[in-house]
Chains A and B, each alone.
Chain A
Amino acid sequence: MNPYRSDHKPLRRRLPKQAAPGLGWFSIGLGVAELLMPRLVARATGMHGSETLLRLYGMRQIATGIGILSAPDPKPWVWGRVAGDALDLLTLGAHAGPHNPHRMRTCTAMGVVAAVTAADAACAQGLSHRPLELQRDYSDRSGLPRPPEQMRGAALEDFRPPVDMRTPEPLRPYAVH
């Protein structure tokens, strides 16, 4: 544990943990749709004739979603989603050729999967983040002859800021008058 850190986590550290369960449920939902309604999904994505493949992909989606929701560390499962997204993109790409009369639908689906991939990758990366660890402790390097508390204001014995760097008196906050 780094002693120079508090527990105030910024949003970019909190968000991946909060988003992972959402991705898990999304994965299960999409997987159920692919498994139970492959024809509908095939029509929506311009992948007629690939219903069996879509059922297999649906099972993959469900397994990944359960993994994300149930594993103590969802990180490998979210990375699994990223790999699955890549597979989906490759499959869609194979169907996006000029021979496919519904290629516009396939291209649209590719755009949606690309956006989901970006979200998955950002979440996976956020979960994989490791704080920098202290390599060398410089807490003995104050450069001051006495403890900081005893040095507070030491320069004021013989120093006044020049006029051009002082706040004009009428503009000084009331607290310091």
Chain B
Amino acid sequence: MKALCYHGKHDLRYETVPDPKIEHGRDAIIKVTSCAICGSDLHLFDGLIPMTKSGDIFGHETMGEVVEVGPENKKLKAGDRVVVPFTIACGECDQCRRGNFSVCERSNRKKNLGDLVFGHTTAGLFGYSHLTGGYPGGQAEYLRVPFADVAPIKVPDGLSDEQVLFLSDIFPTGWQAAVACDIQPTDTVAIWGCGPVGQFAIRSALLLGAKQVIAIDRVPERLSMAAAAGAITIDFDEEAVLERLKDLTQGKGPEKCIDCVGMEADVHRSIDSMYDGVKQMLKLESDRPHVMREIIYACRPAGTISMAGVYGGLVDKFPLGALMNKGLTLRTGQTHVNRWADDLLQRIERGQIDPSFVITHTVGLDQGPAMYKTFRDKQDACVKVVMKPHAAQQGALQ
């Protein structure tokens, strides 16, 4: 089959690899009908996630049609249409039983690495380095889904791929980020980053009743998409973020702040980011936490910070004193997709939201390597790329 394979920093190739096979009775193989490039894939592409090896297949936003199931899998059958959550969950461990699917204790088949780096393993993830299991990802024509009798979300035929694909990650991620803020009707919610996760966080905050939603980015197209959902926008390249946030909140700061940026904050726009950039280059720091620093200063005392952006390792010059003395609550974590999936699927079916609004580019899988660059560089007004693996020879679809 064809897949997008990593061969080093900024070197992603569309190439032929062996077809996946059933390895365990609970597995399923799906024929991928649609997959997407996630913002967190760019961290892999930029060589920032440790334990990413040459030949690894990327991709964790995937859906398709079941073509084969293992003998122990009683949930799925060939022909089912499923969205595959990016976190792999066994459904049986302590954490899964509590609904904490993203920290499943059993699905990371390289648990020792997780234990070593994070103290305790987290869940296995598709196409996201050997730190999270080294599972081949879904930017491919076929995907093996382990524990496929737990996480995959069956979707009805009446909904298009474009409407349901993002149940795999970015919609529940934006939703969980907003839910974790425990939004009250009096709250201002400020959201850093208007990429795909930020767009869903904006809409989730609105649906969850925030009085005012403020969106911070520098890319005009993304700000226009944020404004479409009623957000007040701040262009951090042209506007003073902290001053403007104070103006919009009677000088008090937003009660709830969401980080939808993560470890690769823009390196040229502040002194601390430049400092982080240099340290990152020298391998003295793994992440660039400018956004979290700014959030901690901006957030109203006794407020809540929700961290949806991905961080991978160690940071410094982190304002822990402000975090503690302001009495801020910090909620973090990869998304427990299956906690929200059924509810969000119903919202899509009822028409409360149509997630396809975020798609700006649809291409064949063979265009993937080029689209990684387009997405990373925010060229061609790119916000979200969907790829169709079995339409690869058709080239650009949209």
Cβ of B182 and Cβ of A153 under 8 Å apart?
A: no
Does any Cβ of A come within 8 Å of B84's Cβ? no
Cβ of B208 and Cβ of A143 under 8 Å apart?
A: no
**Interface SS, B side:** mixed
Cβ of B233 and Cβ of A4 under 8 Å apart?
A: yes
Q: CB-nearest residue of chain A relative to B339?
A: A162
Q: CB-nearest residue of chain B relative to A142?
A: B228
- Pick the residue among A135, A144, A145, A175 that contacts B221 (CB under 8 A): A135
Within 8 A of B (CB), among A135-177: 135-145, 147-149, 151-156, 159, 161-162, 165-167, 171-173, 175-176
Chain A residues contacting B221 (CB-CB under 8 Å) are 134-138
Having A5-B239, A8-B240, A151-B230, one finds 12 other A-B pairs with CB under 8 Å, namely A135-B380, A136-B360, A136-B381, A138-B381, A141-B357, A143-B358, A144-B203, A153-B207, A155-B347, A161-B179, A166-B182, A173-B255
Cβ of B355 and Cβ of A167 under 8 Å apart?
A: no
Please, how many residues of chain A have a CB less than 8 angstroms from a CB on the other chain?
45
Cβ of A167 and Cβ of B225 under 8 Å apart?
A: no
A–B pairs, 23, beta carbons within 8 Å: A4-B227, A6-B244, A8-B244, A9-B240, A10-B236, A131-B238, A132-B218, A135-B221, A135-B380, A135-B381, A136-B221, A136-B381, A139-B224, A142-B230, A143-B355, A151-B206, A151-B230, A152-B209, A153-B185, A154-B207, A155-B352, A156-B208, A162-B339
Chain A residues contacting B218 (CB-CB under 8 Å) are 132
Chain A residues contacting B220 (CB-CB under 8 Å) are 2, 4, 132-135
Chain B residues contacting A143 (CB-CB under 8 Å) are 199, 203, 228-229, 353-358
Cβ of B225 and Cβ of A9 under 8 Å apart?
A: no
CA distance in complex: A11, B247 (Å): 16
**Chain B contact patch, size range:** 35 or more
CA distance in complex: A153, B64 (Å): 33
A138-B221, A144-B229 are known contacts. Are A8 and B239 too (CB-CB below 8 A)? yes
Chain B residues contacting A132 (CB-CB under 8 Å) are 218-220, 237
Chain B residues contacting A176 (CB-CB under 8 Å) are 184-186
Cβ of B208 and Cβ of A9 under 8 Å apart?
A: no
Chain B residues contacting A134 (CB-CB under 8 Å) are 220-221, 224
Does any Cβ of A come within 8 Å of B74's Cβ? no
Q: CB-nearest residue of chain A relative to B355?
A: A143
Does any Cβ of A come within 8 Å of B374's Cβ? no
Chain A residues contacting B223 (CB-CB under 8 Å) are 4
- Pick the residue among B207, B219, B358 that contacts A141 (CB under 8 A): B358
Does any Cβ of A come within 8 Å of B261's Cβ? no
Chain B residues contacting A99 (CB-CB under 8 Å) are none
Cβ of B353 and Cβ of A144 under 8 Å apart?
A: yes
Within 8 A of A (CB), among B295-348: 302, 304, 329, 331, 339, 343, 347
Contact with A along B197-233 (1 / 0, CB 8 A): 0010001101111100000001111111111111001
Chain A residues contacting B229 (CB-CB under 8 Å) are 142-144, 148
Within 8 A of B (CB), among A2-26: 2, 4-6, 8-13
Chain B residues contacting A142 (CB-CB under 8 Å) are 203, 228-230, 357
CA distance in complex: A4, B218 (Å): 10
Does any Cβ of A come within 8 Å of B51's Cβ? no
Cβ of B240 and Cβ of A10 under 8 Å apart?
A: yes
Within 8 A of A (CB), among B139-188: 179-180, 182, 184-186
Whole-angstrom distance between the Cβ of B240 and the nearest chain A Cβ: 4
A148-B229, A162-B339 are known contacts. Are A167 and B224 too (CB-CB below 8 A)? no
CA distance in complex: A166, B184 (Å): 11
CA distance in complex: A167, B183 (Å): 10
A12-B269, A134-B220 are known contacts. Are A141 and B343 too (CB-CB below 8 A)? no
CA distance in complex: A146, B270 (Å): 38
CA distance in complex: A155, B329 (Å): 24
* B182, B186, B204, B360: most-surrounded residue (chain A CB, <10 A): B182
Does any Cβ of A come within 8 Å of B383's Cβ? yes
CA distance in complex: A140, B226 (Å): 10
* A9, A11, A147, A148: most-surrounded residue (chain B CB, <10 A): A148
Whole-angstrom distance between the Cβ of B52 and the nearest chain A Cβ: 31
**Ordered nearest first, which 6 A-B pairs have the shortest CB separation?**
A148-B230, A143-B357, A153-B209, A136-B381, A155-B207, A138-B225
Within 8 A of B (CB), among A79-129: none
Does any Cβ of A come within 8 Å of B99's Cβ? yes
CA distance in complex: A141, B219 (Å): 16
Whole-angstrom distance between the Cβ of B181 and the nearest chain A Cβ: 8
Chain A residues contacting B92 (CB-CB under 8 Å) are none
Does any Cβ of A come within 8 Å of B115's Cβ? no
Q: CB-nearest residue of chain B relative to A176?
A: B184
Chain B residues contacting A167 (CB-CB under 8 Å) are 182, 304, 329
Does any Cβ of A come within 8 Å of B18's Cβ? no
Contact with A along B338-380 (1 / 0, CB 8 A): 0100010001000111111110100000000000000000001
CA distance in complex: A131, B235 (Å): 10
Does any Cβ of A come within 8 Å of B243's Cβ? yes
